[in-house]
A = this chain, B = another copy of it.
Amino acid sequence: MDRSMTASEIARDLGGTLRGGGDTVIRGVAKIEDAGPDDLSFIANAKYVRYLDETRAGALLVAPGMKAEGRTLIEVSDPYLGFMRMLERFHPRSLWLRPGVHPAAVIEPDATVAPDVSIGAFCYVGPRAVIGARSLLYPHVVVCADVVVGEDCEIHSRVTLREGVRLGNRVIVQDGAVIGSDGFGFAPCKDGYVKIPQRGTVVIADDVEIGANTTVDRATLGETSIGPGTKLDNLIQVAHNVTIGSHTVIAAQTGISGSTRVGDRCRIGGQVGIVGHLTVGEGVMIGAQAGVGGDVEPGETVSGSPSRPHALWKRIEAALTRLPELFRRVRALEAAVFEHKNKEKVSS
């Protein structure tokens, strides 16, 4: 299938302004380092301007005002988003999952499945579960009893949605994630521990994405909840009764302990640990590998383990490098002061 476009067609499509040869034929998109004469690329970041001379790209999306002799440039207000649109156009997703229900899937008779879903081989849809319109279940998805999956969801292979879990619309869950496993709750008793029944559920709002092999535990009572537009990377742990707000982004291998509340529009790095029963305010940023042991005020940036305000942490980090030297300086001071005192004693 021929997906080629000329540079002027691309400029028109993106509502941009063409600078240079509009007849250049583009057949794909590529990063600026890798692009060839048939490729469209982009410069969104001043750091990459040095590639303007070297790149072999046939055409470039750039911010208004950027110049380069003999190049085909297309000025657009957001070169990155423009590039994404062209990426979708030139490299459309391979929708290999066939429409309908694969004959090797099992749908329990009292489940409700919209007529236009795609459900892959060996999917299991349990009693009373509901799968909304146009949702995709890749092979080996396990949907337990009473689960609700909204419309236009994309559930990748080997995801488990445990009993009673509810997903909004346009939710994407990457392969192997577990939503609704039992929370980790045990009460000490004289012979060890007794399991605290975990009877709540998990509610995932619209436009959330959950990464591969991430685990989200069900609440003891009530709901573990993840707000609209929030994105979780791979191998994250979300414990029981955690609440995460909207449009928050969390990088891989982070863990959030039980009953903690994370606000809207936070940005949390990888391998962060957050203690239970805390409140992390709106718009908070947390550096990678931080260990958060107390509430964080809205808008704060924290780093380190235990975490502190980012600026303080940077000063501590710098001081640590010079700590062995500080010991030497204190020894020198001690020598000077005590030597001096001893002399005084001798002379007096």
**Which A residues are closer than 8 A to B by beta carbons?**
29-31, 34, 80-81, 84, 87-88, 91, 93-94, 96, 102, 104, 106, 120-122, 124, 126-127, 138-140, 142, 144-146, 156-158, 160, 162-164, 172, 174-176, 178, 181-182, 184, 186-187, 189, 191-197, 199, 207, 209, 211-213, 215, 217, 221-222, 228-229, 231, 233-235, 237, 239, 246-247, 249, 251-253, 255, 257, 265, 270-271, 273, 275, 288-289, 291, 305-306, 308, 312, 315-317, 319-324, 326-327, 329-330, 333-334, 336-338, 340-341
- B163 pairs with A96, CB closer than 8 A: yes
- A192 pairs with B316, CB closer than 8 A: no
- A81 pairs with B194, CB closer than 8 A: yes
A80 to chain B, nearest CB (A): 6
29 of the cross-chain contacts (CB-CB < 8 Å) are A31-B221, A87-B197, A93-B197, A93-B199, A94-B145, A94-B164, A102-B106, A121-B124, A122-B124, A142-B158, A158-B176, A162-B175, A172-B182, A172-B195, A174-B178, A176-B213, A184-B233, A191-B247, A192-B228, A217-B234, A271-B291, A273-B288, A289-B305, A316-B324, A319-B323, A333-B334, A336-B338, A336-B341, A337-B337
Q: Please give, as numbers and ranges, the residues of chain B lying within 8 Å of A34 by CB-CB distance.
A: 221-222
Closest 9 CB pairs between A and B? A96-B145, A181-B212, A192-B229, A192-B247, A237-B252, A212-B215, A91-B199, A178-B212, A215-B234
- A327 pairs with B324, CB closer than 8 A: no
- Could you say which of B124, B197, B315 contacts A84, with CB atoms under 8 Å apart? B197
A237 to chain B, nearest CB (A): 4
Complex CA distance for A157 and B147, rounded to whole angstroms: 15
Complex CA distance for A252 and B144, rounded to whole angstroms: 24
- B251 pairs with A94, CB closer than 8 A: no
- Could you say which of B253, B270, B306, B320 contacts A323, with CB atoms under 8 Å apart? B320
- B87 pairs with A221, CB closer than 8 A: yes
Complex CA distance for A306 and B251, rounded to whole angstroms: 18
A86 to chain B, nearest CB (A): 10
Complex CA distance for A316 and B326, rounded to whole angstroms: 11
A273 with B273: in contact, given A237-B235, A312-B321, A326-B330 (CB under 8 Å)? no
- A189 pairs with B81, CB closer than 8 A: yes
Q: Please give, as numbers and ranges, the residues of chain B lying within 8 Å of A229 by CB-CB distance.
A: 191-193
A237 with B253: in contact, given A329-B334, A333-B337 (CB under 8 Å)? yes
Q: Please give, as numbers and ranges, the residues of chain B lying within 8 Å of A315 by CB-CB distance.
A: 323-324
Closest B-chain residue to A235, C-beta based?
B237
- B270 pairs with A271, CB closer than 8 A: no
Q: Please give, as numbers and ranges, the residues of chain B lying within 8 Å of A81 by CB-CB distance.
A: 187, 189, 194
- A186 pairs with B333, CB closer than 8 A: no
Q: Please give, as numbers and ranges, the residues of chain B lying within 8 Å of A31 by CB-CB distance.
A: 221-222
- B312 pairs with A316, CB closer than 8 A: no
Given A142-B175, A178-B212, A289-B291, 16 more A-B residue pairs with CB atoms under 8 Å apart are A30-B222, A31-B222, A87-B221, A139-B142, A139-B144, A178-B213, A186-B209, A193-B247, A212-B217, A234-B237, A251-B257, A273-B289, A315-B324, A322-B327, A330-B333, A336-B338
